[in-house]
């Protein structure tokens, strides 16, 4: 059997639902016999059923004595039809290739051990890095119990994110902006501030040729509950979650609740909400992946608290000048420990993706 070929195909399957399975990882599964694929599946776009369950159902009796290729350790914890591990045992699969051990403590190594105890041949680790990369948000968020966090910024050559008078104007070109929409499409939620909402009134949708493809979940840090009730983020509220962290408990918070927002009351210390707590609460609310679209004050606060995993910069060949709004208030990109992961040219814009160290 060509194991590498099949495990690669299992990863191709996983990629089909990238950005759709939150907070679950996207997993691909292939069932084969005599070098032929019997069935293949990917985690359902709602996160359940899992890929193994779908693939086994498709394979039916043919799964008996077959080989399974799966990108992540099958689950140990129960679902409606029993755990994936129990379903594999019932199916008669004789051999299983697993790229990566699940880091969820409910499963971690438990399924592998159970399969081995039941005399199934288990081979782990082939193309592990690919699984880690596809589901980066899952592995990082489970480790720190906070969402995996990407900050997106369009900047000028002199590292400004807006003009001093907050005059609204695109900094990046249309190719960069389309890339931002692709990035949003792969994210679970946008995190922003009341200030960015008040200044820009963004929609935070995924759009292609002005058509809305996805209404993203939006999370707002809004201490004094200043966002206007006609803000565009409140449109199509039944297609998304809007979570607002605030210190206020008043008629406006009630009105926002009635509209469908989740209002989380937070304490204020030194005129700030504790962002570490915000992130822990978000994780408990099953938000595992964030894209930050806010200004340089908020970015500086996130950096101080070590809450940023990646920075995505779209650099345009313009100079805004000293009066412009800085990328990181009171700090500079140069001072931040980071590793360049990707560099690309989008016409005259430079795209830079960094991992924060
Ligand atoms: N170029 C880009 O890609 C991009 C992306 C997004 C936004 N922007 C631009 O950024 C500009 C705004 O930037 P900015 O730096 O002035 O503002 P900002 O970073 O968006 O927001 C700062 C505000 O967020 C609140 N905040 C931050 N940390 C907080 C904490 N720990 N607890 C409670 N509240 C906290 C405070 O608001 P309060 O105290 O008033 O509640 C603070 O004044 C806008 O003009 C927008 O166009 C640019």
| pLDDT tens, position by position, 289-318 | 999 999 999 999 999 999 999 999 999 999
Distance from Cα 195 to the centre of ligand 1, integer Å: 5
Mean pLDDT (whole number) for 3-11? 97
Which pTM was predicted?
Answer: 0.95
Encode pLDDT of 138-185 as tens digits: 999 999 999 999 999 999 999 999 998 877 678 999 999 999 999 999
CA-angle at 327, arms to 324 and 332, nearest 5°: 110
Check the CA dihedral 172-173-179-184 and report its sign. Answer: positive
Q: What is the pLDDT of residue 327?
A: 96
The ligand 1 atom at the shortest distance from the C-alpha of residue 166 is 45
The ligand 1 atom at the shortest distance from the C-alpha of residue 301 is 28
Encode pLDDT of 97-117 as tens digits: 999 999 999 999 999 999 999
Query: Does residue 118 surpass a pLDDT of 80?
Result: yes
Q: What is the pLDDT of residue 1?
A: 67
52 annotated active-site: yes
**Do you know the residue count of the chain?**
357
Closest among 196, 194, 207 to 152, alpha carbons compared? 196
Mean pLDDT (whole number) for 117-136? 97
Q: Any residues with CB less than 8 A from the CB of 223 and at least 6 apart, and which?
A: 194, 246, 247, 248, 266, 268, 271, 272, 273
> Which of 52, 53, 159, 310 is flagged as catalytic?
52
Pair 301, 331: CB distance under 8 Å:
no
Percent above pLDDT 90 for the chain: 93
DSSP string, 304-322: HTT---EEEEEE-S----T
Query: Does residue 48 surpass a pLDDT of 90?
Result: no
CB burial of residue 2 (10 Å; 0-12, 13-18, 19+): exposed
Q: To the nearest 10°, the Cα dihedral for 254, 232, 294, 291?
A: 90
Q: What is the pLDDT of residue 79?
A: 67
Pocket of ligand 1 (CB under 6 A): 153-154, 161-162, 166, 171, 193-196, 199-200, 221, 223-224, 272-273, 275, 293-298, 301, 325, 329
Encode pLDDT of 310-342 as tens digits: 999 999 999 999 999 999 999 999 999 999 999
Distance from Cα 49 to the centre of ligand 1, integer Å: 39
Break the chain down into helix, strand, coil percent, rounded to 5.
30, 30, 40
Q: What is the pLDDT of residue 77?
A: 83
């Amino acid at each position: 059997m060509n194991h590498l070929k099949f495990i690669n195909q299992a990863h191709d399957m996983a990629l089909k639902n990238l950005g759709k399975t939150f907070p679950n990882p996207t997993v691909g599964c292939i069932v084969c016999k005599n070098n032929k694929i019997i069935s293949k599946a990917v985690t359902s776009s709602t996160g359940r059923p899992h890929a193994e369950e779908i693939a086994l159902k498709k394979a039916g009796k043919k799964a008996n004595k077959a080989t399974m290729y799966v990108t992540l350790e099958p689950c140990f914890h129960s679902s409606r039809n029993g755990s994936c591990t129990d379903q594999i045992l019932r199916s008669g699969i004789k051999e299983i290739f697993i790229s990566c051990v699940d880091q969820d403590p409910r499963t971690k190594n438990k399924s592998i051990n159970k399969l081995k105890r039941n005399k199934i041949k288990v081979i782990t680790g082939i193309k592990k890095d690919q699984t880690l990369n596809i589901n980066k948000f899952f592995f990082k968020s489970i480790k720190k119990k906070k969402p995996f966090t990407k900050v997106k910024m369009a900047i000028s050559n002199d590292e400004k994110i807006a003009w001093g008078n907050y005059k609204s104007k695109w900094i990046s070109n249309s190719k960069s902006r389309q890339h931002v929409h692709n990035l949003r499409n792969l994210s679970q939620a946008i995190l922003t501030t009341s200030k960015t909402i008040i200044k820009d009134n963004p929609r935070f949708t995924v759009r292609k040729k002005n058509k809305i493809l996805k209404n993203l979940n939006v999370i707002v840090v809004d201490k004094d509950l200043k966002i206007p009730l006609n803000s565009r983020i409140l449109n199509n509220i039944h297609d998304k979650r809007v979570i607002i962290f605030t210190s206020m408990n008043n008629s406006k918070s009630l009105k926002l609740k009635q509209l469908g927002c989740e209002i989380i009351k937070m304490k204020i210390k030194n005129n700030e909400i504790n962002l570490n707590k915000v992130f822990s609460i978000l994780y408990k609310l099953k938000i595992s992946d964030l894209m930050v679209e806010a200004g340089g004050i908020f970015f500086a606060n996130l950096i101080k608290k070590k809450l940023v995993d990646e920075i995505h910069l779209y650099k345009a060949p313009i100079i805004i000048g000293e009066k412009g709004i800085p990328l990181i208030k009171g700090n500079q990109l140069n001072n931040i420990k980071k590793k360049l992961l990707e560099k690309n040219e989008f016409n005259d814009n430079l795209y830079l993706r960094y991992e924060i160290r």
